[in-house]
Structure 1
């Protein structure tokens, strides 16, 4: 005998397929939701790590800015100290030169003359003096010109006063090399 199935097998099959389809959709939705949550969590973790790195870098930048300011302050302080040191060295270096210039003024002074006043302003000495003859003034100018410590003298004025000549001249100072000065 032939078997006849009177049950609605097509409806059962469609219902089974429908349940499987719904299960697959729910499973895919759950899997999709889990994937989205996982990706979101991963990006949140990565952003938190990057924020920690950024905060660390900002802190280090602040420290470096402070160190840069300290270095700039130290450089400025160093420059001020170097300027002071140079000024002191110039003053100490000029002391022997001034003494040497006055010593040279005495050496070039011819007999029969004397200085009334010597005024130094910057690199120029103004000399007021008394001479017995005009030739003595000329001799003083030649000697000053030949000296390595002075530039060419400039005679400003010669006045005859009784038997003596009053004169006024200016002469520039130089600094010879150490070998020339010996």
Structure 2
């Protein structure tokens, strides 16, 4: 028995190819949508993880900034305490300076010279008085310049001759009224000078031995 296909086979093949094309296109679109959705989900997860790290870092930065402010405040407080401590130490060191000043003036003032006033302003001292001769004033200047442990840099501010009537009112004495400015050393300066002077004194014998 012979079968004869009377249907238009070309149109049928064309229709099948079209169906296959649209099916493949739909499958590709579906696969693409799945891939895009998966990639989007991964990207969102990465963004969320990075955001979490950013939030953590921001919180840590704020914490460190607070700690830095605390450290800066502690440093300022420490510096303030150091300044107060130094001020107290300076007061304790300087409280004996008037005693040293009076002792040095007594020791370095020659006979025939009398002090009438002593004014101290920090390390600056102004003394005024009367001397029998110019030589007494010169001797006082030399003593305070080279022999005094606590006084230095004497400067003669003023000297003038004057006459004073004696007690019996019979004659007049010629005197010299003077004003001298001095610098009073601080105890730490005296200690440093003493320690510095002791080094050459100890080194002198060694130098003489090496020379011999």
Q: What range is the shorter-chain TM-score in?
A: 0.7 to 0.9
Q: Output the CA distance in 2 between the equivalents of 1:38 and 1:152.
A: 91
Residue 122 (structure 2) pairs with residue 122 (structure 1): yes
Task: Tell me the C-alpha RMSD between the 2 structures.
Answer: 2.6
1:170 match: secondary structure = strand
Contact 1:158 1:168 in 2 (8 A): no
Range moving further from structure 2, 39-48 or 114-123: 114-123
Contact 2:159 2:176 in 1 (8 A): no
Q: Output the CA distance in 1 between the equivalents of 2:6 and 2:22.
A: 27
1:117 Cα deviation after fit: 1.3
Q: C-alpha deviations, 1:30-69, integer Å up to 9, x for none?
A: 1111011111111111111111111111111111111111
Q: Output the CA distance in 2 between the equivalents of 1:134 and 1:17.
A: 137
Q: C-alpha deviations, 1:143-178, integer Å up to 9, x for none?
A: 112224222322212342413543321122333313
5+ long unaligned stretches in structure 1? none
5+ long unaligned stretches in structure 2? 165-172, 199-212
Residue 85 (structure 2) pairs with residue 85 (structure 1): yes
Contact 1:119 1:127 in 2 (8 A): yes
Alignment of 1:18-29 (within 5 A): 18-29=18-29
1:110 Cα deviation after fit: 1.9
State which of 167, 171, 174 in structure 1 corresponds to 2:182.
171
TM-score by length of 2: 0.72
- Residue in 2 that maps onto 1:95: 95
Aligned residues: 182
